[in-house]
Chain A
Amino acid sequence: DAKTTQPTSMDCAEGRAANLPCNHSTISGNEYVYWYRQIHSQGPQYIIHGLKNNETNEMASLIITEDRKSSTLILPHATLRDTAVYYCIVRPSRGSQGNLIFGKGTKLSVKP
């Protein structure tokens, strides 16, 4: 089972920031938070990951609370092409691969 909780769906106006929350209250000290997204009929796409510090790349920013029990993915200027299902994943530490366990994610709809 996924170790994260996300809202089922969210709307965002085009050009505005999209803030996607994720709760991971049982995260352990050596587990990372990963975000992927899946645009309709495509494979998932890696966005960003972090351990405890905030992270930023060309796609998004990741804000992790100090207690690491929750995080927020920020798309600073959402476009219509950002409409997708966004998955927050806590990377398990078992095994040699740290397998991804996907939950149901948040369906983000960016509207004009």
Chain B
Amino acid sequence: ETGVTQTPRHLVMGMTNKKSLKCEQHLGHNAMYWYKQSAKKPLELMFVYNFKEQTENNSVPSRFSPECPNSSHLFLHLHTLQPEDSALYLCASSQPSLYNEQFFGPGTRLTVL
């Protein structure tokens, strides 16, 4: 595997379910990111991790809970989501210094019923 991978690629869940999105990067990077892309809206940054430490939470509701156990893996734990949380969730990674380009995964298409 190369680059940034995300699983699952598609997920349908009910509002009472608990699920997790997984991201893995094989680029040796130390910064990882979660973005949300809703229909017809720009990408929105959700969380930033730098050397496994969360350095940014962009006012994300607590029903989204990130976890970064090591520099290669990033999770987004989901619980009691709302239908408006349906979106494409994208993971990215980069070297943790200013102005380095970010490499994105293919995303998880989430549908909340």
Contacts and interface: CB of A to CB of B under 8 A. Distances in A.
Interface of A: 2, 32, 34, 41-46, 49, 91, 93, 95-105
Contacts of B98: 91, 93, 96-98
B56 A95 contact: yes
Contacts of A41: 107, 109
Contacts of A103: 42
Interface in B74-93: 90-92
18 contacts: A41-B107, A42-B106, A43-B91, A43-B92, A44-B43, A44-B90, A45-B104, A49-B99, A91-B98, A96-B98, A97-B55, A97-B94, A97-B96, A99-B45, A99-B56, A100-B43, A102-B42, A102-B44
Interface residues of B, number: 25
Contact of A46 (B43, B96, B102, B106): B102
A79 to B, nearest CB: 21
A41 B108 CA distance: 10
A2 B91 CA distance: 20
